Structure 1
Amino acid sequence: MPAPKKTARRSLLVTSAVLSSLALAAPAAVAAPKPSGSPSASASPSATPPASMSTVGGARLGRPGTQVNLASGVPVLPKDLSARSWIVADAESGDVLAAHNAHWRLAPASTLKMLFADTLLPKFPRDTKHKVVPSDLAGIGPGSSMVGIKEDETYTVHDLWLGVFLQSGNDAVHVLSAMNKGVENTVKEMNEHAEELQALDTHVVSPDGYDAEGQVSSAYDLTLIARSGMQKKDFREYASTVTAKFPGETKKGKKGKTLRKPFEIRNTNRLLAGDVDVPVYQGIAGVKNGNTTNAGATFTGVAERGGKVLLVTVMNPEKSEHNEVYKETARLFDWGFKAAGKVQPVGELVPPRGAAQASAQPGANPSGEAGGSGDGADGTAGTGSKPVAGAPVADGSSGIGTALGITGGVLVLLAGGAFLVNRRWPLPDLVRRRTRP
């Protein structure tokens, strides 16, 4: 289907809290039909990009190969990109600036944890406590990344989400899934949420992203999911946290006293935490990395610079260099910040399916001006959250570009507890990352 008009691309969603589940709303837009050959339990990634893929977000995004509108004044794309699939998008407007096999269904690895978080985060207050029983940790795949959860120990939901985001802990995912009526129910809800987001290339089999037959996503879908997640205060906080203390195992100390000493965990997102061959990326604020046998290395990142907020997803670079997925992501970010405002988009990030229904509700204000905002412990977006860490970047900006948060700003309360923003995402509290001198 053709990409909607520019005004439609400028109208974006904000998330809202609904009593028992996440309800997303956004401005009216033509809902894209579900593509033929949608993922199923028997679907697996193809060896080469199909000749015809989903056209959600625009016809060009369904074509194999690189899609970009190079013209006078537009920088040339990096020449040393080896990823099977990638996308560069404006997080505010939804414009897709460039893409390569955007809808190719590939194994997602732990980037799928973004969908897990976007689905479950609103359900449990962060101070909720849970004592781990053996069944909570059943079914974790061999060789999984773990944060170090122990049976018979008690953890808060806040602890568990730190384990998911920083250490990509499959053990933390399984405990939260157990709290959510089990893995099977969690997978069902994740697939339903992907459908609502119009992430139609995505099929979930395991909530932690562990390799499984039929488990697929795409660079386009992962970018949609990250964009949705970054509207939630808690999601932004966890995604941008570099280090944290995690509860250790209870042990007996001197004189029979029990001790539970915490240990430090560090975010495995190398653009956020840095590594020997990858510096912290200027303006980075998340989101999630992954690596499995089937998926190779995958990564979705969000960064702000000069008042622009970009999302980049890179899937499975062919080069075997250390940290190659982060290096290619950084090069695409660099290109995107130079190209933003100059390059004509090749597609758009679509709003959720509920957008048209929400905007049609009686009382919806098409101007987006209204009364009410939310920023509660349930992780809903709002305007009053504080940055996790702050430091100006080299080209520091003010006003709309003073902190990264994609929080939704002015909200309209609609029937059913949903909120609607009918304009570009405002950015009232961008979370900035400290960069190396």
Structure 2
Amino acid sequence: MIVSCVVRRVAACATVSLLFLPAPAAAAQAPRRGEPMPPQATAAIDPSVLHRSGTQVRLPPGAEAPPELSARSWLVADARSGDVLAAHDAHRRLPPASTLKALFALATLPRLAPDTLHTVEESELRGVGAGSSLVGVKEDVTYRVADLWLGVFLSSGNDAVRVLAGLNGGWEETVRQMRETARELGAHDTEVVSPDGYDAPGQVSSAYDLAVFGRAGLQNADFVRYCGTPYAKFPADGWSFGIRNTNRLLTGADGVARYPGLIGVKNGYTSGAGHTLIAAARQGGRTLVATVMNPREGGAYAVYEEARALLDWGFEAGRRARPVGSLLPHRTPVTPVTPSVPAATEAAVPVSARPGPQRAAAAAVDGDDTGSGAGMLLPLTFIGSACVAAATLWVVRRRVPR
């Protein structure tokens, strides 16, 4: 009798209390995996799409597909928004060659004043890899830091990289800074061993990461000036000699036609990496960045023609493409989607039905859960406890006089 009375009063208290609880907020609808968000929210595009193998592109019916290239990996993106228009094996880790010098510049440029004068010592040129590209830095010659940067961007001079790295705190310190800069930019495929891009065990990057570096470089005025300089004079001992940018899309050398509106950035080649390129161009108020890694057909200059084809497509048919990814930074590396599982399957499962770890991860991505059913559990607990206490006290007070 006493128990049934207590139960009835607790239920009544809980019912009355629930009538005055605010209704839980509607759960935010997460985008389906691979489904692009509106342009103003493209950073929320599912980054795992670009981890899939093969070519990724989203086009309306009748739109021209991106060109078929021989490169192992490539990507083209809008440099302003970071929207990736199309890509092929975007996160495939490959040796980057001298395109890694773009990351070297991002990490080091802000730390060295361009007008600083420095007289090179013989010890600073030790360790340059055999067969490296050189601009011609000599010991006992005084250089401006700006001259050395021209040697890096135009001649891909590993000797200039050695001197600048020494001024920056040393080789290992520069490696550390480059790794840190890559992580800050969300470039998680890149492992830096040698700042000049010289082949080294474990040194890799990706078409995605190189595009991230190219886009970040376009926001630095010094970077843009150096990477877009076709010709310059390089100091010698009391005289100077001419150097030419090895990016043929910029200079039109060796039978490669100049690309209209090309801003520049960086090319590279090693025996291990093959030919690699980061190219940025501006046409009609739009700026695109394209990356090409290791073409397997077409000879030494195929990397330029394949980049040209990507840029042409991006400026024309690419206007109609819906983004398949974003160059904006993500906090952590992304685990590729298992090809055998449909991309939309996980997103279609309600968060409450997922296993514990996935549910926690979903909550972290969706952000604040204030107003959700879980958020109401604590107030209900207090209300129920109060009702039980009140009912118990009422029963005890009625039994004491008896």
Say yes or no: TM over 0.5.
Answer: yes
Give a deviation string over 1:64-110, Cα, whole Å, max 9, x none: 1111123324212223x100000010001111110000000000000
Match of 1:66 among 25, 50, 55: 55
Given that 2:275 and 2:300 are in contact with CA atoms closer than 8 Å, whether structure 1 keeps it comes out as no
Q: How much has 1:352 moved relative to structure 2?
A: 6.7
How do residues 142-157 of structure 1 correspond to structure 2 at under 5 angstroms? 142-157=130-145
Total equivalences in the alignment: 300
Provide the residue aligned with 1:301 in structure 2: 279
Q: Does 1:124 pair with 2:112? A: yes
The alignment's C-alpha RMSD in Å is 1.8
Distance between the aligned counterparts of 2:35 and 2:326, measured in 1? 7
How do residues 229-308 of structure 1 correspond to structure 2 at under 5 angstroms? 229-248=217-236, 250=237, 260-308=238-286
Distance between the aligned counterparts of 1:328 and 1:176, measured in 2? 32
Provide the residue aligned with 1:138 in structure 2: 126
Provide the residue aligned with 2:38 in structure 1: 6
How do residues 23-422 of structure 1 correspond to structure 2 at under 5 angstroms? 58-79=47-68, 81-248=69-236, 250=237, 260-351=238-329
Distance between the aligned counterparts of 2:250 and 2:61, measured in 1? 33
TM-score, normalised via structure 2 length: 0.72
Given that 1:9 and 1:95 are in contact with CA atoms closer than 8 Å, whether structure 2 keeps it comes out as no
Q: How has the CA–CA distance of structure 1 residues 336 and 204 changed in structure 2, closer, same or farther, with 3 Å as cutoff?
A: same
Q: How much has 1:4 moved relative to structure 2?
A: 7.1
Unaligned runs of 5+ in 1: 11-28, 31-55, 251-259, 355-437
Structure showing greater radius of gyration is 2
Q: How much has 1:229 moved relative to structure 2?
A: 1.1
Distance between the aligned counterparts of 1:115 and 1:353, measured in 2? 19
Q: How has the CA–CA distance of structure 1 residues 206 and 339 changed in structure 2, closer, same or farther, with 3 Å as cutoff?
A: same
Distance between the aligned counterparts of 1:180 and 1:95, measured in 2? 33
Task: Read off the aligned partner of 1:141 and give its amino acid letter.
Answer: G
Given that 2:34 and 2:324 are in contact with CA atoms closer than 8 Å, whether structure 1 keeps it comes out as no
Distance between the aligned counterparts of 1:205 and 1:106, measured in 2? 13
Given that 1:3 and 1:58 are in contact with CA atoms closer than 8 Å, whether structure 2 keeps it comes out as no
Give a deviation string over 1:3-40, Cα, whole Å, max 9, x none: 77335546xxxxxxxxxxxxxxxxxx67xxxxxxxxxx
Runs of 4+ in 1 over 4 A off after TM superposition: 1-4, 7-10
Given that 1:3 and 1:348 are in contact with CA atoms closer than 8 Å, whether structure 2 keeps it comes out as no
Unaligned runs of 5+ in 2: 1-32, 333-402
Distance between the aligned counterparts of 2:119 and 2:36, measured in 1? 49
TM-score, normalised via structure 1 length: 0.66
Q: Percent identity?
A: 56
Provide the residue aligned with 2:383 in structure 1: none
Task: Read off the aligned partner of 2:136 and give its amino acid letter.
Answer: G
Instruction: Select the structure that is richer in helix.
Output: 2
Given that 1:297 and 1:317 are in contact with CA atoms closer than 8 Å, whether structure 2 keeps it comes out as yes
Give a deviation string over 1:306-357, Cα, whole Å, max 9, x none: 1111000000000142300000000111111112331111111123759xxx
Distance between the aligned counterparts of 1:338 and 1:320, measured in 2? 24
Give a deviation string over 1:142-169, Cα, whole Å, max 9, x none: 0000000001111000100000000000
